[in-house]
């Protein structure tokens, strides 16, 4: 067939219905012969490429292609002519077009052979897909910038698209995942189940949000398993139904849940232990009181008997000391359990802390004198806070009693109450000249049932509960406790509390 020398509309008569239909098509339509020469171009072709129809007729179709697409075009055209097959729009024929002004644009191409009187021709249908490509680019940008791993999977279960977060989560490069079955990201034991789930999803595609029973396990490239949460969303792309999976690594959440479970278990165990101690202590309280009372009476009677042996008196003294020690321990356990059951409720009021500390020094003076301890004080005036007066009294009294209990005769115990500069806090402290604390003492001194390495200097007993009670009461007032000590050089126990604004 020779290309027409006349205008393109003469290729089909003006009154031809076919001609009118093609001219009014919203897509560019070109008719190309075996040599790749343009025999016809409709109005939309002129608008798309910027050429008049007369400029296109007789020219090679390659003039509408960027240079880098022209090299193999003759081969493709010849192959198509030898075995012409319908290639509809959207069947993977997205190329680039070249306008008269030199600008390029993405175009989707459909091909169909058409037999005319003078031979076979190719009907080329073209559409500008710039907007669609831009929308696709925006979609890819959104996917790649997502903080979650995103995987697009087709109906066959093959991976079509992944973002960088997916690569980071599973350890693969993007090219290693594309085209692979999604199963590579799942442990072996879940793969058969996943095949059934995939079929079920595509049979009834619907959005499945994060956290709705989709906690699974992913498989890292190195073989380690990752706890994950998955959200699914069906989407149509290029006429094909796919599923967009959003994947979140929930390793941290699992660890937090495990830690919370461990903490709850430990708290339950401690509670059960405290309850058992309280029950045992209640059962021991009355018998111990009887033993203590009877042993004291017998001891006094023995001491008053001239013929009593030293050994008998020593045995009775040991019984009396041991029962009194146990009675004090039981009393402390019961008091601690009682406070625990009450939740350490505070009866808050405005407390004159300066007056409270002066009273504590005055009431402990006789105790110190009996041990030949010099009890000194440096109490700043007009210090007040909002708190429970009784609990504060018990806490501070415990500090003073401990200092006296562990100080040798002739030494000094100093009680202080001061304002801390620029902290909105006050500090109550007790400094002694006792044995001080070892490194082991410092790590556990405020724990329950923890005792100092040193022994009291008199006949007092320690339950190991006193300082833990101090800590509890001070912390309930939003304060803190601590101790500064060097072994062999005494200790300074302090409590810091916020003042009344």
Residue 26 burial (CB count, 10 A) = 7
Q: Say whether 145 sits in a helix, a strand or coil.
A: coil
Residue 426 burial (CB count, 10 A) = 22
- The DSSP code sequence of 203-223 is HS---B-TTSS-EEEEE-TTS
Domain with residue 78: its CATH number is 3.30.450.20
Q: Which domain holds residue 164?
A: 133-249
- Among 307, 326, 342, the domain boundary falls at 342
- Based on the fold, state whether residues 116 and 138 are members of the same structural domain: no
- Based on the fold, state whether residues 442 and 472 are members of the same structural domain: yes
- The DSSP code sequence of 371-425 is TT-EEEEEEPSS-EEEE-HHHHHHHHHHHHHHHHHHSPTT-EEEEEEEEETTTTE
Residue 211 burial (CB count, 10 A) = 12
- Based on the fold, state whether residues 240 and 221 are members of the same structural domain: yes
Which helix (H) or strand (E) element contains residue 230? strand 225-237
- Based on the fold, state whether residues 355 and 493 are members of the same structural domain: yes
Q: How far apart are CA 234 and CA 418, in angstroms?
A: 69
- Asked if residue 146 is part of any domain, the answer here is yes
Which of 196, 145, 193 minimizes the C-alpha distance to 166? 145
* Residue pLDDT tens, the chain, 501 long: 444 443 333 454 445 666 777 788 888 899 888 888 998 899 999 999 999 988 999 999 889 988 888 887 878 888 888 888 777 655 555 688 899 999 988 888 888 888 877 778 888 888 888 777 766 667 677 677 777 888 888 888 899 888 888 898 999 998 999 999 998 998 888 888 877 888 888 888 888 765 555 557 889 999 999 888 888 888 877 668 888 888 888 888 878 888 888 888 877 776 666 666 556 555 666 677 777 778 888 888 888 888 878 888 888 887 877 777 566 656 655 555 555 544 455 678 899 999 999 988 988 888 888 889 999 999 999 999 998 888 888 889 889 988 898 888 899 999 999 999 877 899 999 999 888 888 877 777 877 655 555 555 555 545 445 688 788 889 888 999 998 988 888 899 999 998 754
- Are 219 and 186 a contacting pair, CB within 8 Å? yes
pTM for this entry: 0.39
- Are 385 and 355 a contacting pair, CB within 8 Å? no
- Among 80, 113, 128, the domain boundary falls at 128
How many residues would you count in the chain?
501
Our count of domains for the chain comes to 4
- Among 212, 228, 249, the domain boundary falls at 249
> Phi and psi (nearest 5°) for 345?
-65, 140
């Amino acid at each position: 067939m020779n290309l027409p020398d006349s205008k393109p509309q003469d290729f089909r008569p003006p009154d031809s219905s076919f001609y009118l239909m093609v001219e009014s098509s919203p897509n560019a339509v070109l008719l190309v012969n075996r040599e790749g020469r343009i025999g016809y171009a409709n109005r939309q072709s002129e608008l798309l490429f910027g050429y008049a129809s007369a400029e296109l007729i007789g020219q090679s179709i390659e003039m509408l292609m960027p240079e880098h697409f022209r090299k193999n075009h003759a081969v493709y055209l010849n192959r198509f002519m030898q075995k012409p097959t319908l290639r509809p729009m959207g069947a993977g024929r997205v190329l680039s077009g070249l306008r008269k002004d030199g600008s390029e644009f993405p175009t989707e191409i459909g091909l169909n052979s058409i037999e005319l009187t003078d031979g076979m021709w190719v009907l080329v249908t073209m559409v500008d897909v710039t907007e669609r490509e831009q929308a696709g680019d925006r979609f890819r940008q959104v996917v790649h910038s997502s903080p979650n791993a995103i995987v697009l999977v087709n109906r066959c279960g093959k991976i079509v698209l992944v973002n960088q977060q997916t690569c980071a989560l599973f350890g693969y490069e993007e090219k290693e995942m594309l085209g692979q079955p999604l199963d590579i990201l799942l442990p072996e034991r879940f793969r058969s189940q996943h095949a059934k789930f995939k079929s079920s999803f595509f049979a009834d595609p619907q959005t499945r949000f994060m956290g709705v029973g989709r906690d699974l396990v992913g498989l890292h490239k190195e073989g380690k398993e990752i706890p994950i949460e998955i959200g699914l969303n069906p989407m149509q792309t290029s006429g094909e139904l796919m599923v967009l999976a959003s994947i979140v690594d929930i390793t941290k959440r699992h660890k937090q849940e495990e830690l919370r479970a461990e903490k709850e278990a430990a708290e339950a165990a401690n509670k059960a232990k405290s309850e058992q101690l309280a029950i045992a202590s209640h059962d021991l309280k009355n018998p111990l009181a009887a033993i203590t009372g009877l042993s004291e009476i017998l001891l006094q009677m023995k001491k008053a008997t001239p013929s009593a042996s030293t050994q008998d008196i020593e045995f009775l003294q040991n019984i009396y000391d041991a029962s009194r020690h146990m009675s004090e321990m039981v009393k402390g356990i019961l008091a601690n359990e009682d406070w625990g059951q009450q939740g350490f409720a505070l009866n808050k009021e405005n407390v004159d802390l300066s007056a409270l500390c002066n009273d504590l020094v005055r009431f402990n003076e006789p105790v110190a004198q009996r041990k030949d301890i010099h009890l000194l004080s440096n109490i700043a005036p007009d210090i007040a806070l909002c708190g429970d007066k009784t609990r504060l009294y018990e806490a501070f009294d415990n500090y003073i009693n401990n200092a006296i209990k562990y100080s040798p005769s002739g030494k000094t115990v100093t009680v202080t109450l001061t304002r801390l500069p620029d902290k909105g806090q006050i500090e109550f402290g007790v400094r002694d000249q006792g044995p001080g604390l070892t490194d082991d003492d410092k790590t556990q001194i405020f724990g329950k049932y923890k005792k100092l390495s040193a022994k009291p200097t008199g006949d007092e007993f320690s339950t190991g509960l006193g300082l833990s009670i101090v800590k509890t009461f001070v912390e309930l007032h939003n304060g803190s406790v601590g101790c500064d000590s060097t072994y062999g050089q005494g200790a300074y126990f302090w409590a810091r509390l916020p003042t009344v604004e």
